[in-house]
Amino acid sequence: MSQLDLAAAASTTPRYMSFVETGRAQASRDMVLRLAVALDVPLRDRNGLLVAAGFAPIYPQHDLDHPEIERVMAALDRVLDRHAPYPAVVMDRSWDVVRLNTGAARLFAGLCAPEPVPDPANVLRLMLEPGPVRAAVENWDEVAPALLERARREAVGGVMDLTTAELVQRLRTGDDAAVYAAAPRSIAPLIPIIDVQFSYGDSTLRWFSVISTIGTPVDVTAQELRIESFFPSDDDTAARWDRITTVPA
């Protein structure tokens, strides 16, 4: 944004914006927040801006089991339950799974077998680092670069948390750097999504996912949560999954 555009978005003048930028004026708490809103700064970083300007942070950050965030988690749990038997998970900003439904538990358990599912299960690590889940992805060369691009795109405010940023950097410079740098090679122009093709027992399951976030968060934790809901990419996967989930785990 130009200084003029930012001034207009923050309901101030370019002259005052120049004074703030050069240190000739000290922004008030209200102005810091107006600038943060104009720049679409995430709540976590708005707190950081306030502290840097000499003010106390105003956006709370609660643990998932805190009563203040109980309504949010109850709503997410209902979404997960209603999506079963198809898999769905709730992830935090680091891609750690903090909630999952019965369908996701069934899928992850089958992919990781005979080993247990890691706790916490980090979706990026499971999909991109060597292990049973990555080995089960039949179209990994297509999925891997798209997933790294998604990690950048879905980062809150466009900035990855430190843990995820370090993982992405390590992957981009490691043995599979050429794969991560490549554009997916086998996508026809009319295909709108890249599905993930898992080898699961004697079947191939093809899934695509939809990402959901909290609409009006005023809590740091709530803003950083997202639901990933998986849907069958074809009728064969839907039928196979229905048969799989009718058998006791």
pLDDT digits (tens, 9 = 90+) for 107-144: 999 999 889 999 889 999 899 889 999 999 999 988 88
For the entire predicted model, the pTM comes to 0.84
Question: What is the spatial distance between Cα 74 and Cα 76, in angstroms, rounded to a whole number?
Answer: 5
> 3-state class of 208 per DSSP?
strand
Q: Has residue 167 been placed in a domain?
A: yes
Q: Is residue 57 part of a domain?
A: no
Average pLDDT, integer, range 58-84: 94
- Residue 179: predicted pLDDT: 64
Q: Residue 140 maps to which CATH number? A: 3.30.450.180
What does the pLDDT average to over 83-109?
Answer: 95
141 and 206 part of one domain: yes
**Which pLDDT does position 64 carry in this prediction?**
92
Taking residues 94-119, report their average pLDDT.
Answer: 94
Q: Are 37 and 85 within one domain?
A: no
C-alpha to C-alpha distance for 17 and 31, rounded to whole angstroms: 10
pLDDT value for 170: 80
DSSP state of 137: B
Q: What per-residue confidence (pLDDT) applies to 175?
A: 74
Indicate if 138 and 165 belong to the same structural domain: yes
Q: Which of 53-57, 67-71, 151-155 has the lowest mean pLDDT?
A: 151-155
**pLDDT above 80 for 70:** yes
- Tell me if 76 is assigned to some domain: yes
Output the pLDDT for position 155: 76
**Which of 13 and 175 is assigned the larger pLDDT?**
13
In this structure, is residue 61 part of a structural domain? no
Cα distance from N-terminal residue to C-terminal residue, the chain: 54
* Structural domains in the chain (count): 2
Q: Are residues 106 and 7 in the same domain?
A: no
pLDDT at 141: 87
- Structural domain for 206, as ranges: 67-245
* Residue 126: other Cβ atoms inside 10 A: 21
Residue range 228-241: mean pLDDT, rounded: 96
User: Strands, E, within the chain: which ranges?
Assistant: 88-91, 97-100, 196-200, 203-213, 226-232
In a domain? residue 35: yes
Tell me: do 234 and 128 sit in the same domain. Answer: yes
Same domain, 155 and 188: yes
| Separation of CA 244 from chain center | 28
pLDDT-based confidence at 30, cuts 50/70/90? very high
Residues 149-202: tens digit of each pLDDT: 888 877 776 677 778 888 878 877 777 766 666 655 555 444 567 899 999 988
Closest CA to 202 of 246, 142, 243, 230: 243
58 within some domain:
no
**Least confident segment among 80-94, 95-109, 120-134, 143-157:** 143-157
Q: 3-state class of 163 per DSSP? A: helix
Q: How large is the average pLDDT for residues 68-85?
A: 95
Whether 79 has a pLDDT exceeding 60, the answer reads: yes
45 and 88 co-located in one domain: no
